[in-house]
Amino acid sequence: MLKKITLVTALAAGLIASTAVLAHDPGSRGDHGRRGHGGPVAGLRQLDLSEAQRDQVHKIMLDHRKASEPLHDEQKALHKSFASLNPGSADYAKQVAALQDQSAKVARDRVKDMANLKGQVYAVLTDAQRTKWAEQKTSFRRHDDKDHPKN
């Protein structure tokens, strides 16, 4: 009898926990705010793009993903290199400095890459869409500042 009660209690707890997990909005990350959602061209859905514009943006994004793969792979390799360093090694500081330099170069390349992507997408938009996109960015920044005030 005690085993049955324990089993029923465990099942009930499991159902309650799974319901809580499923209660989040799709794509939600809990209460971490809007960070990480939408990528570099977030907000394009609200710009009422024409079908031709959507096709152009889609092609730009596909081309960008393919072209930026080596940069992404390089960043992953750097991460693995940092993780594999031995702090007890005699030349640890020298190895860290070399990886810092490589990491800084990759970061600069990624910023340039993302700026290029945004520029290509921006060129597809009409003046009204550009204005609306800029307003969305401003609104997003205000929202972010409100959620994370500076001390």
* pLDDT tens-digit readout, 111-129: 999 999 999 999 999 998 8
- For the chain, the domain total comes to 1
Is position 96 within any domain?
Answer: yes
**Dihedral of the CA atoms 145, 147, 136, 53 (nearest 10)?**
120
Q: Is residue 29 part of a domain?
A: no
Q: Would you say residue 1 lies in a domain?
A: no
Residue 20 lies in a domain: no
Number of Cβ atoms within 10 Å of the Cβ of 15: 10
In a domain, 61, yes or no: yes
More confident residue, 96 or 44: 96
For 25-61, the pLDDT digits (tens) are 555 555 445 455 566 566 777 888 889 998 999 999 9
Domain span at residue 52 reads 43-147
**Torsion angles phi and psi, residue 51, rounded to 5:** -60, -40
Domain presence at residue 2: no
Tokens representing 7 are 């089993």
- What is the tens place of the pLDDT at every residue in 129-146? 888 888 887 776 655 555
Q: 6 or 96, which is more confident?
A: 96
CATH number at residue 127: 1.20.120
pLDDT score for 43: 72
Tell me, what's the pLDDT at 132? 87
What span, in angstroms and rounded, lies between the C-alpha atoms of 6 and 14?
12
Alpha carbons 90 and 127: distance in angstroms, whole number: 58
Burial class (CB in 10 A: 0-12, 13-18, 19+), 117: buried
